[in-house]
Amino acid sequence: MKPITDIGQLDLTKSYTYADYLTWQFTDRVELIMGKIFRMSPAPTSSHQHAVSVIHGTIFQFLKGKPCKVFPAPFDVSLPDASGISQTVVQPDITVICDPSRITEQGCNGAPDMVVEVISKSSVKKDLHEKYSIYEQAGVKEYWIVHPQDRSLIIFTLTAAGQYQPSKPLTKGDLATSQVLPGLAIDLDELFIDVVEEPQALYPLDVKRV
């Protein structure tokens, strides 16, 4: 079989598996969701990367000496179905795994304990719909959705019935805490600082900025 070295060789209307994904040799970053190929977003914004850095750095320091491990993207998470075949492989912005048997050289095989997605304009639908559903069905215990533009964070916690229960929307002045990692607290004042200041010249001198 001819090796796949360019994404253009793939039929994007077809379904693929994680086994197929592992054979691809092109450099484009993609995710598989229920067999369908989703291209990854272009280079993320500074606000996106700041949020990822704050959350990952805080969790990394918190987990020192503890069994759980945290991984930033790109990091493959394969979610097999009941038959053991995986048609879903995603790259969450941040992945926390507390079961070491799920960590492989390729990434994570099976549901992580916690994932964080930082929303960008190009990923809103995928993060709020497709990924929400697959994380819930796979049994990911906690799903954080961070929206830098809205300066909001919502934590979805898996109930005993296997459904996500949302927290109230959190914003500046709040602390984000975790049921999966008791004792973890992330200050949203630090998370949502202005990474890039808008030029003052855009605003009349006699108008207060909100």
DSSP line for 3-20? ---SGGGS-TTS---HHH
Same domain flag for 179 and 84: yes
Taking residues 44-49, report their average pLDDT: 90
Note whether 88 and 135 are same-domain residues.
yes
- The number of C-alpha atoms within 13 Å of 97 and in the hemisphere containing its C-beta is 20
**Tens digit of pLDDT for each residue in 58-73?**
999 999 999 999 999 9
- Chain segment 111-147, per-residue pLDDT in tens: 999 999 999 876 777 788 889 999 999 999 999 999 9
- Verify that 31 and 129 share a domain, yes or no: no
Based on the domain organization, do 53 and 107 belong to the same domain? yes
Has residue 194 got a pLDDT over 70? yes
Q: Are residues 156 and 138 in the same domain?
A: yes
CATH code assigned at 91: 3.90.1570.10
Q: How far apart are CA 16 and CA 89, in angstroms?
A: 10
Q: 135 with 99, same domain?
A: yes
Average pLDDT (158-162) is 97
| pLDDT recorded at residue 195 | 64
Buried/exposed 28-66: b ≥16 CB within 10 Å, e otherwise: eebbbbeeebbebeeebbebbebbbebbbebbeebbeee
Q: Beta partners for 164?
A: 158
Greater model confidence, 195 or 173? 173
Report pLDDT for 128. 84
Strand, helix or coil for residue 187: strand
Mean pLDDT of the residues in the chain = 90
* 197 part of a folded domain: no
Host domain of residue 29: 7-39
What is the length of the chain? 210
Report the pLDDT averaged over residues 155-175: 97
Give the chain's domain count.
Answer: 2
Residue 202 lies in a domain: no
Same domain (yes/no): 70, 162: yes
Mean pLDDT for the stretch of residues 21-29: 93
105 plus 28 within the same structural domain: no
Mean pLDDT of 48-55: 96
Task: Write down the H helix ranges in the chain.
Answer: 18-23, 46-62, 124-125, 131-138, 188-191
- Whether the per-residue pLDDT at 198 is higher than 80: the answer is no
Residue scoring higher pLDDT (182 or 196): 182
- Same domain for 32 and 97, yes or no, is no
